[in-house]
Amino acid sequence: MKLSLFMMPLHNLGRDYSTTLKEDIEAIVYADQLGFSEAWVGEHYTSSVEPITSPLTFLAHVAPLTKQITLGTGVACLPQYNPVLVAGQAAMVDHLTDGRFILGVGVGGLVSDMEVFNVEDQNRVEMMIESVDLIQKMWTETPPYTLKGKYWTISNEKYVWPDVGMGEMLKPKQLPSPPIAVSASSPNSGSIRLAARKGWIPVSANFVAAWNVKTHWEAYCDETAKTGGVADPEIWHVARSIHVADTDAEAEAYVKKPGGTFDWYFDYLLRIYKRVGATAAVVVKPDDDPAAVDHVVQRDDFVIHGSPETVARKILELRDYIGPFGTLMMAAHDWQDKAAMKRSLELMATKVMPMVNAAIAAKEPAEASAA
């Protein structure tokens, strides 16, 4: 199992913007040094709590500060942009990272962003699918061409002058395309089924219950089987909120501190989900009343926390429940206590994952026989 870092990011209300940007950069650089395989960064324009407006710009800045970590958008909200813009910028970032790049895509989740970009009432799933199709055509086709879609028409015909290098879209380093990923948070997610049909990387969100995440892989396998394929769990990325401390008591106190990093995270998200009428996706148990969801119950159930030994055990229990997966995405949280959060990253990489992978290796012959 690989370890990656998933960063919305989501910071505590009222924190200084410049400070949080520097902390987010430091977190990815530190993860790179610790051997994390990937770091993903989200996109939100109208939130002081989730303040990275352009993951592509952010990753371009981080790229020369890192050595081995793959950098991904988590996600680029495609309905908000002309596909030409994304194709050009993503291709450049793919080169700036020397091919250490994944293009995570989505429809957008922040309603205030949808409003300012005037896509709130659009079919954003259709727009996302069309955008990826157009982007990949621009990366693989040679002009002159006119690419016609329902939402965008891209004409590149009149000024194609190869003798001066003009007219052709710049191509990414990873040909024909960097890997594409899509995230999911709803039970039996349509996004996950789309990933299965398209061959994209499926990513399960960290702020939903394990029973919900379990349905994601079931949907992916079901969709893959429709075309006679067999789903490979190595492609599946599962994000979870995790906090590791030297002792169980220390981790418990940090995670459950009222108004603290993890408490605010789930308090904030639940307030948003309630206001948009989407709490059914974030219930702790399948039969819970969506109107009665409590962020404290979510926090205590969703956050994997404890000493390295305890966290390793809980990750293995999660894997036993939802099924094998290839990459565990450790969700980044606000550095209200910088020392504690860096220690958590360190313990996760140096203590927890070796225990987890040793246990998985010991179980692999039995799992292979069962399959």
Statement: residue 342 has pLDDT above 80: yes
Statement: residue 67 has pLDDT above 60: yes
What pLDDT, on a 0 to 100 scale, did the predictor assign at position 310? 99
Supply the pTM of this predicted model: 0.96
Q: Which residues pair with 7 in a beta bridge?
A: 41
What pLDDT, on a 0 to 100 scale, did the predictor assign at position 48? 97
Statement: residue 366 has pLDDT above 80: no
Mean pLDDT for 142-170 is: 97
Average pLDDT, the chain: 97
pLDDT tens for residues 233-282?
Answer: 999 999 999 999 999 999 999 999 999 999 999 999 999 999 999 999 99
**pLDDT > 70: percent of the chain:** 98
Question: Which residues fall within 8 angstroms of residue 133, CB to CB, at 6 or more apart?
Answer: 149
Q: Which residues pair with 203 in a beta bridge?
A: 183, 237
137 burial (CB, 10 Å; 0-12 / 13-18 / 19+) is: middle
Q: Which of these, 204, 201, 244, 236, lies nearest to 333 by C-alpha position?
A: 244
Q: Which of these, 77, 12, 71, 75, lies nearest to 38 by C-alpha position?
A: 71
Distance set, CA 130 to CA 38, 84, 144, 320, 357 (Å) = 27, 12, 20, 37, 39
What pLDDT, on a 0 to 100 scale, did the predictor assign at position 6? 99
pLDDT tens for residues 182-227?
Answer: 999 999 999 999 999 999 999 999 999 999 999 999 999 999 999 8
Distance set, CA 369 to CA 363, 364, 365, 366 (Å) = 10, 9, 6, 5
Residue where the block lists tokens 């409003």: 115
Question: What is the distance between the alpha carbons of residues 110 and 136, in angstroms, rounded to a whole number?
Answer: 26
Question: What is the distance between the alpha carbons of residues 330 and 350, in angstroms, rounded to a whole number?
Answer: 14
Map out the domains of the chain with their CATH numbers.
2-74+179-248+304-370 (3.20.20.30)
Mean pLDDT for 350-363 is: 98
Statement: residue 64 has pLDDT above 60: yes
